[in-house]
Amino acid sequence: MALDNTQESGFDPGYVANLEHKFKKAWGQNFLRYQKDAISLLKSIDLEENTLVIEVGAGGGALTEALLRRHFRVLAFEIDLSLRDFLNERFSKQLETGELHLLCEDALQIDWRSLFKSELNLAVISNLPYSETRELILKIYAEVGEKLEVLALMLQTEAISRLTAASSKQSNYQAKLYGPQAVFTQLLFAKACSQKISASAFYPVPKVNNSFVTLVRDKGKFAKCSSLLAQAKLDLADFFPYFADFLQLVFKQRRKQLLNSAFSSDEQQAALAFFRELELKASVRAEELEPLELFQLAIAMYNKENKKSD
């Protein structure tokens, strides 16, 4: 069921109407207008007690407040310095108690691995900036994927299709949508749950359709990835950044044979040996491989490259 607010009932002027803010299209700023919408979106999300929630783009604070009402511990990024005073005033109590930490920084430029090194579990719950959706999601997976308990994002419908795309052996497979984001998603999470959101729930009103998608860690899938890395004597946190780069490389020319598009002439013999080990045909393309096959191939290549550099 879609959230639809065509009336002004439930409108909190603190978010938009009284916020003397120049909305910046370059940063994809479309703020949630209604507090009740933000609260409703979080109803189905349950987190472990020690989980830190990361919000990318606090904006007017509607989602931030809803997270705090759930008694979640929150770290919110906000790149727009013109919102700093507003957010500091609005959440002065929570900032003082430590329930909320506000970073007026570009989330893309921060080293998430270092920043969240001491955290055991993370949840990213955000109304992501439209302009940076793809880059941010890959960064999240690469730098803190092994700590992600929940990924819940407000996204354009097209972006959700790429995030949750089926692989080649599934009935609803679409080659043009299946890529790095979908591979990570299938390796780590259970089936996605999404809820449509009316454009009228935002200000400025976006020209695209939006949904709120929730992904919850699949413990069985996560254990399988961890087991494969343990067998190869690799650390999950160290491997994920390499895996993200590997996926971007192999999907860059998705229609070409993987052997020619992703491996140099010096690497091809070793790659062929890995193909045979994984029972892959020499002419296989990246878009034909299942997430676990890509994961195993990346492990093999990672080990080979590290042995070469030793």
Are domains 22-217 and 222-308 of this chain identical in fold?
no
Q: 223-234 pLDDT, tens per residue?
A: 999 999 999 999
- Give the pTM: 0.89
Enumerate the known binding-site residues for S-adenosyl-L-methionine: 30, 32, 57, 78, 106, 127
Tell me how crowded residue 274 is: count the other CB atoms within 10 A of its CB. Answer: 18
Confidence (pLDDT) at 308: 59
Give the dihedral sign, CA 283/296/139/55. positive
Give the CATH superfamily of 22-217.
Vaccinia Virus protein VP39 (3.40.50.150)
- Structure letter (DSSP) for residue 6: -
**DSSP-assigned letters across all residues of 228-264:** HHHHTT--HHHHHHHHHHHHHHHHTTTTSBHHHHH--
Quote the pLDDT of residue 18. Answer: 56
Binding residues: 30, 32, 57, 78, 106, 127
Say which CATH superfamily domain 222-308 falls into. Answer: rRNA adenine dimethylase, C-terminal domain (1.10.8.100)
Model pLDDT for residues 208-252, shown as the tens digit of each residue: 889 999 999 999 999 999 999 999 999 989 999 999 999 999 999
Does residue 44 have a pLDDT over 90? no
Residue 151 confidence (pLDDT): 97
Q: CA dist 122 to 53, 138, 154, Å? A: 6, 15, 17
Domain extents in the chain: 22-217, 222-308
The span from the CA of 27 to the CA of 79, in Å, is 9
Give residue 30's pLDDT band: very low, low, confident or very high (50, 70, 90): confident
